[in-house]
Amino acid sequence: MKVVNFKNNALFLILLLVFFNQNFAQTKTVAQIDKYAKTVSRLMETQKQRIFADISSNGKKSNWKEFKTEKTRDSADTGDNLSKNAYVWMKDGKIVSTTFTFQSPSRDWAHFVTYYFRADGTLAKAESTLNTFYGNVTADRNYYFDSNGKIVKQNVKYLDLETQKPINLIQIRKRQDFIDRKVKFFKTTNKLPFIKLINKKQRGKQSNKF
């Protein structure tokens, strides 16, 4: 039986939070944004995420709902919904990261996007992976943003979906059935489609303190 050393775990979490706070505001350059994103990624590994999904049927108006577990979310699957899912990580009541899964009802493509947000709620970085059977392509992209929402750097890498070996644009053009998907940017946390659910819960927590 594995013995958990709570003292070491607590110390690790304290050091991680200190390191996190030191890098929270230093997100002006690409190097600083990358460093910050890595810090948030480590926080994502140690903290429990919140689960959201759009339960509306395909073609209907979005209807986002929060779920306590993945099991309860999956139980809401009707076969033509849950095409948009999201995990949210928070620190001190603020959203620091969100991972979305966008997919077609037929599940012939899936788009995974992770957003990293600054303390003021502005988007710092977006990492996306598109896997599609239309052309059998994987497209990996990274976008870096300044605090005004302007892209300061971006890069893309195309891979064969099956072999995961790099392919170039000439090969991409030969795959006439390839359909690319644009990355949707939420420039601030206030633009997230379920932000009202989060704000409502946060207000409820604050009112319970009094």
| HEC secondary structure over 17-72 | HHHHHHHHCCCCCHHHHHHHHHHHHHHHHHCCCEEEEECCCCCCCCCEEEECCHHH
149, part of any domain: yes
Residue 75: the pLDDT is 95
Residue 6: the pLDDT is 44
Q: Per-residue pLDDT tens for 137-189?
A: 999 999 999 999 999 999 999 999 999 999 998 888 888 889 999 999 999 99
Give the residue ranges of the chain where pLDDT is below 50. 1-4, 6, 23-24, 207, 210
Structural domain containing residue 86: 49-207
CA distance 113 to 98: 8
Residue 38: the pLDDT is 96
Residue type present at position 209: K
10, part of any domain: no
Model-level pTM?
0.84
115, part of any domain: yes
Residue 3: the pLDDT is 46
Residue 169: the pLDDT is 82
15, part of any domain: no
38, part of any domain: no
CA distance 89 to 98: 6
39, part of any domain: no
142, part of any domain: yes
Q: How many folded domains does the chain comprise?
A: 1
